[in-house]
């Protein structure tokens, strides 16, 4: 895997420019298209301390985030004033408060048994956080652990990679088709320039996928 110290260092030094306090507009706009039952499980890979997990929990879903950094998990619950308990489950340290669980550990250690009743995945800044060769591993691992019919809301960013080193890395529509096309139905829901991306020309795309 990419050196986990890269991310641990970001959290220890609080250099987390990727974090947003407001809910992502694509989540709010498109999530209801999935028509999930109340109480369904939602997996948020590489979740950081995103407040999007609060939004999902408020819609009555059971959220399971997966995150390398224990700092992110603790900050999430403390900053949102959610009392939490800690325990160990499999390869993960489990932080649980209300209907939100954050499994602290390596996403690539996640198994089907860790995510019972997960009906949907929310990927914002997860796929695009990973370098080229790891992205293929990430999508391959998702394919292994998700059941048929699982929905995925995927938000990507594409730009000229020679203009900047990632993360975030550029992920084109062609790559999305290659990585997911064999095992998912793919619907492109939106595409527009992001609000602000370091002065570089970029396009943010939103996809609704469904494992077939
Ligand atoms: C770019 S941040 C995005 C966080 C979150 N999705 C958001 O929108 O704010 C990527 C996160 O993935 C975590 N991460 C990176 N590799 C991971 C891995 N293999 N397993 C679990 N978490 C990982 C990092 O610690 C970091 O918090």
pLDDT digits (tens, 9 = 90+) for 101-156: 999 999 999 999 999 999 999 999 999 999 999 999 999 999 999 999 999 999 99
Q: Cα(68) to centroid of ligand 1, in Å?
A: 7
Distance CA 164, CA 192 (A): 20
Owner of token pair 């914002």:
124
Cα–Cα distances in angstroms (integers) from residue 163 to residues 9, 53, 158, in the given order: 24, 32, 12
pLDDT digits (tens, 9 = 90+) for 25-67: 999 999 999 999 999 999 999 999 999 999 999 999 999 999 9
**pTM for this entry:** 0.98
Q: Cα(140) to centroid of ligand 1, in Å?
A: 17
Q: Cα(181) to centroid of ligand 1, in Å?
A: 24
Q: Identify any residues that bridge with 103 across adjacent strands, giving them in sequence order.
A: 66, 94
- Ligand 1 pocket residue status of 48, Cβ below 6 Å: yes
Domain residue extents for the chain = 4-11+24-211
Give the 3-state secondary structure of residue 204: strand
Distance CA 52, CA 22 (A): 8
* CATH 3.40.50.150 given to domain 4-11+24-211: yes
Whether 211 shows a pLDDT value over 90: the answer reads yes
């Amino acid at each position: 895997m990419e050196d986990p110290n890269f991310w641990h260092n970001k959290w220890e030094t609080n250099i987390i420019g990727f974090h947003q306090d407001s809910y992502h507009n694509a989540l709010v706009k498109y999530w209801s298209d999935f028509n999930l039952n109340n109480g369904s499980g939602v997996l948020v890979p590489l979740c950081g301390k995103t407040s999007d997990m609060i939004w999902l929990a408020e819609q009555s879903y059971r959220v399971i985030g997966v995150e390398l950094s224990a700092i992110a998990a603790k900050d999430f619950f403390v900053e949102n004033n959610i009392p939490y308990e800690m325990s160990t489950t499999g390869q993960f340290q489990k932080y649980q408060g209300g209907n939100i669980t954050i499994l602290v550990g390596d996403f690539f250690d996640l198994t089907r048994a860790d995510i019972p009743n997960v009906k949907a995945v929310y990927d914002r800044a997860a796929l695009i956080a990973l370098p080229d060769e790891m992205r293929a591993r990430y999508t391959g691992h998702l394919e292994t652990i998700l059941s048929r019919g699982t929905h995925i809301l995927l938000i990507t960013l594409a730009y000229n990679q020679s203009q900047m080193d990632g993360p975030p890395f550029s992920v084109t529509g062609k790559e999305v088709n290659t990585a997911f096309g064999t095992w998912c139905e793919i619907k492109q829901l939106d595409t527009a320039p992001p609000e602000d991306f370091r002065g570089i020309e970029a396009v943010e795309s939103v996809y609704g996928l469904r494992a077939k």
